[in-house]
């Protein structure tokens, strides 16, 4: 069975954003996304928009001839605006921030498209021994110095794994069936060590999931073959099937460490939104190396606050001497499940999610 090709590549791309600009619907047949503004309808030029990516629901492994399946890589989601005419590339993450300066290895990615302009969806991934390494990716994501970014781009170069195309040379492609967009993407992208098109299988989701598990990968994606690209929406047309159960949580505070962790935090105090309210979901004190405890402690000390983010006293934390922090750092947690009272069972830290807005941390 043909499965996603494993990549020995190493680099990435960027995006371009402009101000919102609306064009009246009349006289346009091929442009873009329709927005209803009051009583009037307008066409929106995608190239001039900050685009929120289409998101997936959770699911279990399955087979279905109406779906295609591809590997889910442990990377940073990026909508990339690539302009070959002006030799420019910019990348937009899920927080609606451009971050291409962290990946100088992608500055010439405009050479890798067979058109003038394209908007591409994909993931930035850093590989180690042919497996995605989110610790190395995290190091790349936290760089603020241009010189440091340049050094890391040579030591731990990234790969842009692309899986969808939204726009090509003035034409909005989002209403085309996925399988047609996949064909156009393959025609547009010239692969090399910097950029790779994600391959897929049709129908055989269970077999691909087992292969992902065997290779210690994050999981797979299932996508309805005839689905449109639904900007900014979480849809059942796309499904994420993870090998491990994980949940994205907001770090709301921490307890003091003991023993060798005396200088660091003991456990993270975690929260998620439930019915539009930030609720306490438990504590997590495992899953990091000593270096990880040190770096995360330094990060959290910078955002300490006297205000309890939950807005009410938590019975379980009364005797824990909690240091509260501003609820703005998202982390991924693996666990054995969630109890009926919304507490994580046996939580363990996986990574910081620089790309995830706190509003998307729901339970």
Predicted confidence (pLDDT) at residue 3 exceeds the cutoff of 70: no
Q: List pLDDT tens digits, range 265-289.
A: 999 999 999 999 999 999 999 988 8
CB atoms within 10 A of CB 37: 9
Whether residue 199 has pLDDT greater than 70: yes
> Which stretches of 203-245 are DSSP H helices?
205-214
Segment 237-261 mean pLDDT: 92
Query: Would you report the helix, strand and coil content of the chain in percent, each value rounded to 5?
Result: 20, 40, 40
Q: What is the pLDDT of residue 27?
A: 34
pLDDT at 16: 26
Q: How far apart are CA 226 and CA 71, in angstroms?
A: 19
pLDDT digits 0-9 by tens, 133-180? 877 888 898 888 889 999 999 999 999 999 999 999 999 999 999 999
pLDDT at 354: 86
pLDDT value for 322: 94
pLDDT at 21 over 60: no
First to last CA, the chain: 36
The pLDDT of residue 318 is: 87
* Percentage with pLDDT > 70 across the chain: 88
Token pair for residue 137?
Answer: 């990716």
Q: Mean of the pLDDT values across residues 18-24?
A: 30
Sign of CA dihedral 140, 146, 152, 153: positive
Least confident range from 36-45, 268-277, 285-294: namely 36-45
Phi, psi of 99 (to 5 degrees): -140, 20
* Bridge pairing between strands 88-92 and 277-284: unpaired
Q: What is the mean pLDDT of residues 323-331?
A: 96
Contact 206, 62 (CB under 8 A): yes
What does the pLDDT average to over 245-263?
91
Task: Lowest mean pLDDT of 5-14, 66-75, 163-172, 213-222, name the range.
Answer: 5-14
Question: pLDDT-derived band of residue 6, with 50, 70 and 90 as boundaries?
Answer: very low
- In this predicted model, what pLDDT tens digit does every residue of 88-124 receive, in sequence order? 999 999 999 999 999 999 999 999 999 999 999 999 9
13 pLDDT more than 80? no
The β-bridge relationship of strands 76-83 and 117-128 is antiparallel
Question: CB atoms < 10 A from the CB of 291, how many?
Answer: 9
- Cβ–Cβ contacts within 10 Å for residue 43, how many? 20
The whole-number pLDDT of residue 74 equals 79
Return the pLDDT at 209: 96
Whether 38 shows a pLDDT value over 50: the answer reads: no
pLDDT > 50? residue 262: yes
Task: Give 175-186 pLDDT, tens digit per residue.
Answer: 999 999 999 999
Q: What is the pLDDT of residue 91?
A: 97
Q: Is the pLDDT of residue 223 over 80?
A: yes
Q: What is the model's pLDDT at position 43?
A: 58
Q: What angle do CA 31, 33, 36 make, to 5 degrees?
A: 125
Q: Provide the pLDDT for residue 14.
A: 29
User: CA 90, CA 43: separation in Å to the nearest integer?
Assistant: 23
Give pLDDT, residue 289.
Answer: 86
- Tokens standing for residue 294: 């040190």
**pLDDT band at residue 346 using 50, 70 and 90 as cut-offs:** confident
Quick one: 58 exposed, middle or buried, by C-beta within 10 A (0-12, 13-18, 19+)?
A: exposed
Residue 7 has pLDDT above 50, yes or no: no
Q: Has residue 30 got a pLDDT over 50?
A: no
For CA atoms 100, 106, 107, 109, give the dihedral sign. negative
Q: Which residues touch 333 (CB under 8 Å, ≥6 apart)?
A: 246, 247, 248, 249, 270, 284, 344, 347, 348, 349, 350
**Average per-residue pLDDT in the chain?**
87
């Amino acid at each position: 069975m043909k499965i996603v090709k494993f990549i020995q590549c190493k680099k990435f791309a960027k995006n371009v954003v402009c101000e919102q600009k609306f064009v009246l619907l009349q006289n346009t047949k091929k442009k873009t996304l329709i927005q209803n503004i009051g009583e009037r309808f307008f066409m929106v030029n995608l190239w001039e928009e900050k685009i929120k990516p289409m998101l997936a629901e959770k699911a279990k492994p399955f087979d279905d001839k109406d779906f295609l399946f591809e590997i889910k890589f442990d990377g940073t989601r990026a909508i990339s605006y690539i302009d070959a005419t002006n030799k420019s590339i910019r990348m937009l993450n899920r927080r609606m921030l451009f971050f291409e300066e962290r990946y100088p290895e992608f500055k010439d990615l405009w050479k890798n498209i067979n058109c003038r302009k394209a908007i591409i969806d994909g993931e930035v991934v850093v590989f180690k021994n042919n497996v995605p390494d989110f610790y190395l990716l995290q190091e790349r994501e936290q760089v603020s110095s241009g010189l440091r970014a340049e050094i890391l781009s040579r030591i731990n170069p990234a790969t842009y794994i692309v899986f969808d195309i939204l726009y090509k040379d003035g034409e909005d492609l989002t209403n085309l069936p996925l399988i047609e967009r996949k064909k156009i993407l393959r025609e547009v992208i010239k692969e090399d060590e910097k950029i790779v098109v994600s391959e897929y299988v049709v129908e055989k989701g269970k077999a691909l999931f087992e292969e992902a598990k065997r290779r210690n990968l994050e999981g797979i994606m299932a996508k309805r073959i005839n689905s449109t690209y639904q900007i900014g929406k979480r849809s059942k047309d796309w499904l994420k099937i993870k090998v491990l159960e994980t949940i994205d949580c907001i770090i709301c505070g921490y307890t003091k460490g003991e023993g060798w962790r005396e200088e660091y935090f003991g456990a993270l105090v975690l929260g998620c939104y439930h019915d539009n309210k930030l609720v306490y979901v438990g504590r997590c004190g495992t899953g990091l190396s000593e270096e990880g405890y040190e770096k995360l402690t330094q990060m959290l000390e910078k955002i300490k606050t006297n205000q309890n983010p939950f807005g009410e006293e938590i019975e379980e934390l009364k005797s824990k001497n909690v240091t509260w922090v501003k609820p703005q750092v998202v982390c991924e947690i693996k666990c054995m499940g969630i109890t009926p009272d919304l507490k994580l069972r046996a939580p363990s830290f996986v990574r910081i999610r620089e790309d995830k807005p706190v509003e998307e941390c729901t339970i």
